[in-house]
Chains A and B, each alone.
Chain A
Amino acid sequence: MPITMGLLLALSFVVSLLALSFLIWAIATKQFALDRAHAATVFGKGGADGPDTDGTHLFDTTGIDRVSARPVRLLILGAIFWLVLGSTFGVIASLKLHWPDWLNQAAPLTFGRMRALHLNLVAYGWLSQIGIACMFWILPRIFRTPLRAPNLPVIGFWIWNIGITLGALAFAQGWTDGEEWLEFPWQLDMLLVLAGVFFVVPLVKTARAREVDHIYVTGWYFLAAMVWFPCLFFIANLPGIHYGIEEATVNWWFAHNVLGLWLTPLGVGTAYYFIPKIIGKPIYSYSLSLIGFWGLALFYSQVGIHHLIGGPVPTWVVTLSVVHSVMMFIPVIAVAINQHVTVARNLWALKESLPLRFISFGAVMYTLASFQGSIEALRSVNTITHFTHYTVGHAHLGAYAFVSIVMFGAAYHIMPRMMGRDFAHPGLIRLHFWLVVVGFAIYFFALTIGGLLQGLAMLDATRSFAESVILTKPWLEARSVGGTMMTLGHILFAINVIGILRKPRAVAQSAVAAE
């Protein structure tokens, strides 16, 4: 048996390595048909009214934006509602960890419910929706063609949000499917799946109708994510077929791939679009963008079992995930070079553009979160960090400091252009930025340090378990402070976004308003 599993293990790794080598070879020998001229000529299909193609890559998206505006607006609104509510539940959950007797009177208020509400509302209510909004804004633009069937996403919006609301009410009452990231009762998950159809169909139609020969890198991430997430969601939530440890492997295959094959593509794809867009320069290297994308697909998909290191799963599966987790350095470095070099060469842009500050900060956090994750997956490190608050800090470095902050920047860029007017309170944008950055720094360092201390205490039998709990308390209190600052930032964000959607304060002279 060990021989067979060892063979499977080696097989998987060899396949991934071969695929990567093939990719690199393909790039080197120019199998991907894209040369400078091709990239310059983005219109292949007789666009007589297309703007001039003198190599400066200009395209007027006003018409396209007008069609996308309605679904994007709705999705952003929906996302912000869940952001504020979900963050509040997060703060409540955090406070309960050091005020354990607060709000104990009824079951929906208990930590176990609050924490599940927080996670699901921010993951599916905020991040997924704002990510989908970015897809609807960006994809038609990079395909140079208006969104097809623009009414469908509106229907999808309503179904999605009704689903989230019902799901939240359900597990506030204790009706839960019982696994992390999968708490929504599967009966209500079907609503999300249905809504997903209404989101995916128009985007695929738009993709098929594109007016470009080359799909810009953001498009790969978004189009693949639209295949990956439904598969993951569907398989993981199927009732009745999973149990025991197999269910645990499905759980963590799903949960980590939701992060890596859904949220990460949303965040990376969005950053890939807005960073060069705002700066006005191309990203550094097409070849690196290929390595970044396919490396993510190949390696990330198999890291999920690093959540079960030292646990009751076969050794080879764990090692497989550990090795793939470390291999993630390759695509992450590739993306980092592409995104950060472009910014580093144009630091003036950070001064000029508030949205870029959010987006670039978020992109850097992606690099750091991934590096941290790769190292955290090593068995020697994991034995300290597993089961501690350290992992919570890491999760938020990725899902919050990376994806959420990129999405803040994207929203701040999109909204003035979409509404044709300025933000009512531009000062609040700066305040939002500092609140979330400083708040998150406190949050992250508190949990990282507290978690490491906790893990070291748990590994030492001469220290009682009580010690590992008592020593985390001040760090948990600090986390509540950080989390409250972050939530205040979100409230400011909501004020601004709702403000711009209402009566116009000032009509913008140019669309470049918030920068």
Chain B
Amino acid sequence: MNRYLPLVLIAFGILAFATLMLVIAPGIQMAQRSVPEGLRPYSEQESRGREQYVSLGCVYCHSQQPRSPDQAPDVERGWGRPSVAGDYVFDQPHQLGTMRTGPDLLNVGVRLPSESWHLTHLYQPRAIFGWSIMPAYPYLFEEKPEAGPEDTVVVLPEGFGPDSGVVVARQEALDLTAYLLALDRTYPVPEDALRDDGYARKESGS
């Protein structure tokens, strides 16, 4: 090949075609679906909490896309039904994730609806799971000699809290927990839902 302009034009054209196939066409297909009935936008506190989730990089260990029972037993672990494209319309940026160093979280608000549990877990995951490698987030909390009237005290077993006084959740921890509790996509799947069905088996019945 010897000519500059045809080279770059064709190269650009190939990328444009790829963009059409990978981004634009599926985007149009997804935009034609309406928002699922059970899904509601995040409240203001939940949105703040979501920003915490994004900024702390939770996505680097936790996915938010349970798989189909045809493929993997995600649903038996309590992670919820296989997610579909419509479940994420209010997510910006998406937090689908590509690692499961920790469990899938798309429905964590359903199986662990306890704010108190999440505060304990965020403060020190190893207070609950001795084997956990999740980081602790002590800076989302503060230690006080005694709890004030508005404070949310963190439940901690012996040995994990300060020697005296209590651990109280800061607003960031409460916001993040509110977001986690809002993670619930267990409403029924609309008929025209979009997801990768490539694992569906040819024999009917599972």
Are chains A and B touching in the complex at the 8 Å CB cutoff? yes
- Mark out the residues of chain A between 254 and 304 whose CB falls within 8 Å of any chain B CB in the assembled complex: 257, 261, 290, 297-298, 301-302, 304
> Which residue in B22, B57, B199 is a CB contact (below 8 Å) of A115?
B57
Q: State the majority secondary structure of interface residues on A.
A: helix
* B196 closest partner in A (C-beta): A318
Interface pick from B66-74, B112-120, B145-153, B173-181: B66-74
Measured CB to CB, the closest approach of chain A to B198, in angstroms, equals 5
**Are A253 and B22 in contact (CB-based, < 8 A)?**
yes
Q: Is A40 an interface residue (CB 8 A)?
A: no
Residues of B within 8 A of A174 (CB): 55-56
Encode A466-510 as 1/0 by CB contact (under 8 A) with B: 101110110010000000000000000000000000000000000
* A261 closest partner in B (C-beta): B15
* B57 closest partner in A (C-beta): A112
**Are A245 and B137 in contact (CB-based, < 8 A)?**
no
Measured CB to CB, the closest approach of chain B to A368, in angstroms, equals 22
**Are B73 and A460 in contact (CB-based, < 8 A)?**
yes
Q: Is A175 an interface residue (CB 8 A)?
A: yes
With known contacts A223-B7, A227-B12, A244-B92, A310–B67 Cβ distance under 8 A: yes
- In Å, the complex CA distance between A308 and B23 comes to 13
Interface pick from A56-64, A102-110, A330-338, A405-413: A102-110
**Are A470 and B68 in contact (CB-based, < 8 A)?**
no
**Are B72 and A310 in contact (CB-based, < 8 A)?**
yes
Measured CB to CB, the closest approach of chain A to B190, in angstroms, equals 13
With known contacts A116-B60, A244-B85, A391–B198 Cβ distance under 8 A: no
- In Å, the complex CA distance between A38 and B59 comes to 54
**Are B57 and A110 in contact (CB-based, < 8 A)?**
yes
Q: Is A314 an interface residue (CB 8 A)?
A: yes
**Are B135 and A297 in contact (CB-based, < 8 A)?**
no
Q: Is A309 an interface residue (CB 8 A)?
A: yes
- In Å, the complex CA distance between A343 and B30 comes to 49
Residues of A within 8 A of B163 (CB): none
> Which residue in B2, B30, B88, B199 is a CB contact (below 8 Å) of A215?
B2
Encode A382-397 as 1/0 by CB contact (under 8 A) with B: 0100111101100000
Measured CB to CB, the closest approach of chain A to B77, in angstroms, equals 6
> Which residue in B25, B56, B95, B126 is a CB contact (below 8 Å) of A101?
B126
Encode A151-181 as 1/0 by CB contact (under 8 A) with B: 0000000000000000000000011111110
**Are A383 and B139 in contact (CB-based, < 8 A)?**
no
**Are B14 and A297 in contact (CB-based, < 8 A)?**
yes
Q: Is A46 an interface residue (CB 8 A)?
A: no
Q: Is A25 an interface residue (CB 8 A)?
A: no
* B5 closest partner in A (C-beta): A208
Residues of B within 8 A of A470 (CB): 131
Interface size on B, residues (CB 8 A): 79
Encode B63-84 as 1/0 by CB contact (under 8 A) with A: 1010110011100110000111
* A114 closest partner in B (C-beta): B57
Q: Is B134 an interface residue (CB 8 A)?
A: yes
- Mark out the residues of chain A between 377 and 431 whose CB falls within 8 Å of any chain B CB in the assembled complex: 379, 383, 386-389, 391-392
- In Å, the complex CA distance between A326 and B71 comes to 21
**Are B26 and A313 in contact (CB-based, < 8 A)?**
yes
Measured CB to CB, the closest approach of chain A to B39, in angstroms, equals 11
- In Å, the complex CA distance between A301 and B102 comes to 31
Q: Is A344 an interface residue (CB 8 A)?
A: no
With known contacts A100-B134, A215-B7, A465-B103, A245–B88 Cβ distance under 8 A: yes
> Which residue in B26, B91, B199 is a CB contact (below 8 Å) of A314?
B26
> Which residue in A15, A251, A313 is a CB contact (below 8 Å) of B17?
A15
- In Å, the complex CA distance between A319 and B126 comes to 41
Residues of B within 8 A of A232 (CB): 15
**Are B99 and A387 in contact (CB-based, < 8 A)?**
yes
**Are B4 and A112 in contact (CB-based, < 8 A)?**
no
- In Å, the complex CA distance between A469 and B85 comes to 28
**Are B136 and A104 in contact (CB-based, < 8 A)?**
yes
Encode A3-29 as 1/0 by CB contact (under 8 A) with B: 001001000100100000000000000
- In Å, the complex CA distance between A301 and B94 comes to 22
- In Å, the complex CA distance between A182 and B103 comes to 23
Measured CB to CB, the closest approach of chain A to B120, in angstroms, equals 16
- In Å, the complex CA distance between A31 and B195 comes to 44
Residues of A within 8 A of B61 (CB): 111-112
* A104 closest partner in B (C-beta): B136
- In Å, the complex CA distance between A158 and B40 comes to 46
Q: Is A438 an interface residue (CB 8 A)?
A: no
Residues of B within 8 A of A227 (CB): 8, 11-12, 15
Q: Is B132 an interface residue (CB 8 A)?
A: yes
> Which residue in B2, B94, B100 is a CB contact (below 8 Å) of A247?
B94
Residues of A within 8 A of B92 (CB): 242-244, 247
**Are A5 and B2 in contact (CB-based, < 8 A)?**
no
With known contacts A245-B30, A313-B26, A1–B56 Cβ distance under 8 A: no
Q: Is A340 an interface residue (CB 8 A)?
A: no
Residues of A within 8 A of B56 (CB): 107, 110, 112-113, 174
Residues of B within 8 A of A228 (CB): 11-12, 15
Residues of B within 8 A of A141 (CB): none
Residues of A within 8 A of B98 (CB): 180, 307, 386-387, 391
Residues of B within 8 A of A104 (CB): 135-138
**Are B96 and A224 in contact (CB-based, < 8 A)?**
no
- In Å, the complex CA distance between A220 and B10 comes to 11
Hey, which bits of chain A sit against chain B, CB under 8 A? 1, 5, 8, 12, 15, 32-34, 96-98, 100-101, 104-107, 110-113, 115-116, 174-180, 207-208, 213-215, 220, 223-224, 227-228, 231-232, 235, 242-251, 253, 257, 261, 290, 297-298, 301-302, 304-305, 307-315, 317-322, 379, 383, 386-389, 391-392, 458-461, 465-466, 468-470, 472-473, 476
Hey, which bits of chain B sit against chain A, CB under 8 A? 1-2, 4, 7-8, 10-12, 14-15, 17-19, 21-23, 25-27, 29-31, 54-61, 63, 65, 67-68, 71-73, 76-77, 82-85, 87-103, 125-126, 129, 131-139, 192, 194-199
11 cross-chain CB contacts under 8 A: A98-B133, A100-B132, A112-B58, A231-B12, A243-B89, A310-B68, A310-B199, A311-B65, A314-B196, A319-B198, A461-B73
A-B pairs with the 5 shortest C-beta distances? A112-B57, A301-B18, A178-B93, A174-B55, A461-B73
Known A105-B138, A111-B57; further 13 A-B contacts with Cβ < 8 A: A104-B136, A105-B139, A178-B55, A223-B8, A248-B88, A250-B23, A253-B18, A297-B14, A312-B88, A314-B195, A389-B99, A465-B77, A466-B131
